């Protein structure tokens, strides 16, 4: 979201005027409260979409013979979201976004430049990823807590997040569709022989590597990425495919609120110049509720959602109970034992059960006629 750190005097006055609007939005975010920097327990709010609810309510659907054929026709076109075949011809990359970041490719490692807020964001997102991953392992090596883990950093840019994860001992693959970004990242890691061995960079999109990396990674990181893709559903499905069972997906992004438009677009891009104009499109922003809905319907269980706030005056980020601007989310891929049967077999089983039930009921009716 953020791409710089300097504010004009007029920008400061505008920000102060918008502060009241931000305070009013806190009441709307009360359901995502947390007593710590980021919550250890699961969310207190209940996921609203569960694809397997269809099987739970099947009896209600087929009480009436008149509904049977209509429901069977509907079931033919229904497929569980995470069993949909992916296609490398279906891209999530927005060509206009590629042009925007291509122009900034040489500025990734300027800590005082347009990417200064992303450098500062590492103070939150690196511990957020590290601590949640360590909850999934029994022990770890001091100094290299993520040793033995394979992480995919999607939309890695110049490697601002990839390198800290590599320093924690993880084996990291960073991918980005902008070739100049990858060249910048490769050049920077070459100065550290340790990182040179632990980190691999590739110029590609996520969907291009799905086929060769199914269930490969312990974690997938998409930090400040989902607000730039053109097909969020496909993007999440690809994340699910490359994750190992019970693997972690980490996302940081921007909420879709009036405040995020006022601060993220109008103030940051058009008034204060914190972010280059055209960096973000408000229509691509996604609310925590919608993101969770997509994650849950694609086999990923949301564990944590917590707000993030950036202070453009100090240049630092801090955690917040308010998710009306930026927020971070952590989700786990369902284990193999929890997966429902593939859609084709599930539908076949449903059809066979219905046919058997219809035959039984026909026999009962004939007996009653006698």
55 located within any domain: no
- Tell me: is residue 155 an annotated ligand-binding position: yes
45 located within any domain: no
131 located within any domain: yes
- Tell me: is residue 21 an annotated ligand-binding position: no
pLDDT digit of tens for each residue in the chain (370 aa)?
A: 454 444 545 555 555 555 555 455 454 444 444 444 444 444 433 333 334 334 344 333 333 333 333 333 333 333 344 444 444 446 787 776 777 778 778 899 999 988 999 999 999 999 999 999 999 888 888 889 999 999 999 999 999 999 999 999 999 999 999 999 999 999 999 999 999 999 999 999 999 999 999 999 999 999 999 999 999 999 999 999 999 999 999 999 999 999 998 988 888 777 877 777 767 788 999 999 999 999 999 999 999 999 999 998 899 999 999 999 999 999 999 875 444 334 443 444 455 555 655 555 555 455 545 5
- Tell me: is residue 233 an annotated ligand-binding position: no
Side-chain half-sphere of 270: how many Cα atoms within 13 Å?
10
40 located within any domain: no
What distance in Å separates the CA atoms of residue 301 and residue 43, rounded to the nearest whole number? 10
Check which CATH number belongs to the domain holding 309 and give it.
3.40.50.150
CA distances from 14 to 9, 122, 282, 308, 310 (A): 9, 27, 19, 21, 16
265 located within any domain: yes
- Tell me: is residue 224 an annotated ligand-binding position: yes
367 located within any domain: no
Q: How many domains does the chain have?
A: 1
What distance in Å separates the CA atoms of residue 227 and residue 255, rounded to the nearest whole number? 9
272 located within any domain: yes
SS3 of 289, please? helix
- Tell me: is residue 187 an annotated ligand-binding position: no
Torsion angle in degrees (nearest 10) through CA of 81, 86, 87, 88: 130
- Tell me: is residue 357 an annotated ligand-binding position: no
- Tell me: is residue 125 an annotated ligand-binding position: yes
Q: CA 153, 156, 161, 163 torsion: positive or negative?
A: positive
User: Residues in the chain, how many?
Assistant: 370
Crossing angle of helices 288-296/232-242, nearest 10°?
50
Q: What is the DSSP letter of 263?
A: I
- Please check whether residue 241 is in contact with residue 214, taking contact to mean a CB–CB distance below 8 angstroms: yes
368 located within any domain: no
Residue span of the structural domain in which 315 resides = 96-333
Q: pTM of the predicted model, to two decimals?
A: 0.69
Which pair of structure tokens corresponds to residue 262?
A: 């006022």
Residue 106 burial class via C-beta count within 10 angstroms: exposed 0-12, middle 13-18, buried 19 and up: middle
What distance in Å separates the CA atoms of residue 49 and residue 53, rounded to the nearest whole number? 8
Torsion angle in degrees (nearest 10) through CA of 284, 285, 288, 291: 20
């Amino acid at each position: 979201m953020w791409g710089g750190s300097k504010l004009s005097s007029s920008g400061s006055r505008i920000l102060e005027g918008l502060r009241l609007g931000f305070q009013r939005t806190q009441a709307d975010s009360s359901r995502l409260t947390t007593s710590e920097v980021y919550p250890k327990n699961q969310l207190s709010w209940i996921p609203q979409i569960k694809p397997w609810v269809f099987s739970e309510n099947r009896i209600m659907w087929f009480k009436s013979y008149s509904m049977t054929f209509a429901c069977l026709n509907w079931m033919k076109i229904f497929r569980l979201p995470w069993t949909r075949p992916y296609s490398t011809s279906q891209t999530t990359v927005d060509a206009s976004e590629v042009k925007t970041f291509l122009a900034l490719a040489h500025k990734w490692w300027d800590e005082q430049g347009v990417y200064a807020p992303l450098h500062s964001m590492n103070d939150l997102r690196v511990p957020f990823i590290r601590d949640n991953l360590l909850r999934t392992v029994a022990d770890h090596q001091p100094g290299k807590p993520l040793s033995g883990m394979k992480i995919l950093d999607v939309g890695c840019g110049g490697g601002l997040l990839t390198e800290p994860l590599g320093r924690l001992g993880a084996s990291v693959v960073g991918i980005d569709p902008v070739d100049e970004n990858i060249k910048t990242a490769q050049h920077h890691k070459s100065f550290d022989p340790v990182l040179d061995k632990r980190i691999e960079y590739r110029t590609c999109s996520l969907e291009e590597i799905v086929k060769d990396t199914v269930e490969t990674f312990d974690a997938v990181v998409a930090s400040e990425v989902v607000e730039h893709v053109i097909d969020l559903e496909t993007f999440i499905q690809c994340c699910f495919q490359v994750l190992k069972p019970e693997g972690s997906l980490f996302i940081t992004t921007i909420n879709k609120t009036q405040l995020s438009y006022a601060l993220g677009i109008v103030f940051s891009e058009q008034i204060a110049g914190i972010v280059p104009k055209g960096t973000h499109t408000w229509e691509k922003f996604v609310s925590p509720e919608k993101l969770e809905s997509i994650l849950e319907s694609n086999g990923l269980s949301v564990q944590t959602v917590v707000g993030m706030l950036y202070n453009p005056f100090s240049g630092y980020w801090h955690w917040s109970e308010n998710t009306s601007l930026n927020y971070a989310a952590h989700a786990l891929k369902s284990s193999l034992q929890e997966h429902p049967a593939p859609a084709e077999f599930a539908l076949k089983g449903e059809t066979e059960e219905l046919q058997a039930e219809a035959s039984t009921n026909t026999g009962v009716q004939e007996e009653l006629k006698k």
